[in-house]
Amino acid sequence: MSGVGMLAMSWATAMPGAGGAAVKSMLAYRPWMMANAAAGAALALVLLIGGIGMSSRYRWSIPLLRIWALLKLLLVPAGAALSYIMGQAQLQAIQQDPTLASSPGASLGMMGAASSVGIVLSLAWGWALPIFMLVWLSRRRVRAAVGFR
Query: What is the tens place of the pLDDT at every residue in 38-95?
Result: 999 999 999 999 999 999 988 899 999 999 999 999 999 999 999 889 888 888 887 7
Q: Tell me, what's the pLDDT at 49?
A: 97
pLDDT digits (tens, 9 = 90+) for 5-47: 555 555 555 555 545 667 777 888 999 999 999 999 999 999 9
Tell me whether residue 26 is exposed, middle or buried, using C-beta atoms within 10 angstroms of its C-beta: 0 to 12, 13 to 18, 19 or more: buried
d(CA 55, CA 85): 39
Tell me whether residue 40 is exposed, middle or buried, using C-beta atoms within 10 angstroms of its C-beta: 0 to 12, 13 to 18, 19 or more: middle
Q: Tell me, what's the pLDDT at 95?
A: 76
Between residues 72 and 115, the one the model is more confident about: 72
Q: Is residue 147 within 8 Å of residue 58, measured between CB atoms?
A: yes
Range of the domain at 82: 3-146
pLDDT digits (tens, 9 = 90+) for 116-147: 888 999 999 999 999 999 999 998 888 788 76
Number of domains in the chain: 1
Helix (H) or strand (E) holding 92: helix 61-96
Q: Is residue 20 within 8 Å of residue 13, measured between CB atoms?
A: yes
Q: Is residue 24 within 8 Å of residue 10, measured between CB atoms?
A: no
Q: CB atoms < 10 A from the CB of 130, how many?
A: 22
Q: What is the pTM of this model?
A: 0.76
Q: Is residue 89 within 8 Å of residue 143, measured between CB atoms?
A: no
